[in-house]
Structure 1
């Protein structure tokens, strides 16, 4: 079987809820913050990365995870469609499938994987640095390796090993399969906390639409204020989940009480769109360019205006849109 290479970290079935057209003809209006360009394209062409779900395990098809996710998305599709159409969780299955999608999107994306990879590389670098910090530690480490059956070249001296480290004549690579395994553990934890939240279905007024992005489950403090070193966590009080489900439906989740449904006015829709856009990694998506969003140079901007109005400020790998507050 041919190996699949174009892996979507945001499922196409989800993106179609923000697209114009149906099936393979579904197209989304896209703003790309890295190129500062807008365009319409098939949902097949966005929110994907080459071999993102590839696993390398002896005796296991590299497509194993990608195929499994595709099968899961096939089961999810009718439940998500009914949630969007009815603006409610009709059954516990509807709730469970929606939360499962939110957990996957929250954890399994390039931004989170990059952070996870960097964390492991930093640890490996610190261990390597400690190993050659003194001759005594180096000799002790080498002895332990030999006793554990690890092949050690006896000709390599402490001075050579330290120079090799200090000159950075190496590259630390973290196995993607290991990172995927860690992500799956994280998904289970996030899913539990999502299930503990209260959820509200939000609708826009006629003529207004919600947008989504390449990192669409937005976790933030409820007051949306920066707390410096302390970021919001899925299990923390006073946090808010903002999760667009379609052009006409938004989910809000908190640990505090929420009404089951509410209607936003035009300003609140623009605020929500801006909030989602600010947490995008690279791209935002919409059914058309006829949405409202705040930029540093215009309070109510439409999609088509973004390339000329947007002053892109990079901060923590996110596009800085203006605050609507």
Structure 2
């Protein structure tokens, strides 16, 4: 895995559930000029960036220019291998129209919440903000003598003596993507999600849920609120889930069949409600083309 150049921020196991019978996705790209024409592609070719999770050395030493190359990509791959079976189990349960009981259901929803939190944390735009803090913070740490003489000596021996900023950036990424300590982004997202009701929805025949390169859509009651009041996530063309503020002491979990007009409404929310996605993705090309006719630029 350490040699992987094309690094996905949306897992391929998830994208593959939106492929058609030929294994292709229908995709529309958005840039500063608006929406581009719909095209078909394999999951390998979308929602990925070259060396997304790699940290560049600040001082060249004749190698490929990265510090601890592949370590984050490898760790994310292990997490995906752990989440994929739970994701497939959940889809199978929804196919049967019945979720497991008790602790098995709790475990399945917990895995789903972890997937949502991870997708948010892995967003390139989110990561760019995380990385942007590394430079200033590394200077601050050095000026405050955060690194002891022993630390500096060990970094010199490892070949990282002039790489304080890169090491801080790597630590920032590690905290943002993996740490479950109180106050870390993944921890805060999981605490929020696991305290919410969990509502599953089924699309009717002939209609489908679409997804995007930022498939988790958050909603706030008021702009000044710190935390979202709910999260929407398309699980597959047939299923979607909403995590919403708990109404009773015990978490409410349900499965509901949606009307066609409601599916269209959910898709428009995902399409028009986020400024951060780059790709809009669907199984059916004609449906996607019809839907993007309702796209509202700058919404």
Q: Which of the numbers 63, 67, 75 marks the counterpart of 2:82?
A: 75
Contact kept? 1:215, 1:281, Cα under 8 Å: yes
Q: Secondary structure at the match of 1:260?
A: strand
Q: Secondary structure at the match of 1:252?
A: strand
Match of 2:73 in 1: 66
Contact kept? 2:56, 2:166, Cα under 8 Å: no
- Rg (Cα) greater in structure: 1
Query: What is the aligned-residue RMSD (CA, Å)?
Result: 3.4
Q: Which of the numbers 28, 52, 55 marks the counterpart of 1:31?
A: 28
TM-score, length of structure 2 as denominator length: 0.72
Moved over 3 A (4+): 115-118, 144-150, 172-176, 309-312
Q: Which has the higher contact order (CA 8 A, sep 6+)?
A: 2
Q: Which of the numbers 235, 250, 265 marks the counterpart of 1:245?
A: 235
User: 1:84-126 deviations in whole A, cap 9, x for unaligned?
Assistant: 12126532332222111111012221121233345x38x949x
Contact kept? 1:202, 1:261, Cα under 8 Å: yes
User: 1:38-91 deviations in whole A, cap 9, x for unaligned?
Assistant: 10100001111111222579xx85212211221221222221111012126532
Question: Distance in 1 between the 2:15 and 2:204 partners?
Answer: 21
Within 5 Å, which residues of 2 pair with 1:81-230?
A: 81-87=88-94, 89-90=99-100, 91=104, 92-118=106-132, 120=133, 124=136, 176-184=169-177, 185-221=184-220, 227-228=222-223, 230=224
Q: Which of the numbers 245, 254, 258 marks the counterpart of 1:260?
A: 254
Question: Distance in 2 between the 1:105 and 1:176 partners?
Answer: 20
User: 1:125-156 deviations in whole A, cap 9, x for unaligned?
Assistant: 9xx9xxxxxxxxxxxx9xx9699999xxxxxx
Contact kept? 1:241, 1:252, Cα under 8 Å: yes
Contact kept? 1:117, 1:174, Cα under 8 Å: no
Cα shift at 1:231: 5.2
Cα shift at 1:310: 6.2
Q: Secondary structure at the match of 1:193?
A: helix
Matched, 1:289 2:285: yes
Contact kept? 1:103, 1:187, Cα under 8 Å: yes
Match of 2:160 in 1: none
Match of 1:233 in 2: 227
Contact kept? 1:220, 1:232, Cα under 8 Å: no
Question: Distance in 1 between the 2:201 and 2:294 partners?
Answer: 27
Question: Distance in 2 between the 1:221 and 1:146 partners?
Answer: 38
CA 1:232–1:146 in structure 2 vs 1: closer, same or farther (change >3 Å)?
closer
Contact kept? 1:113, 1:179, Cα under 8 Å: no
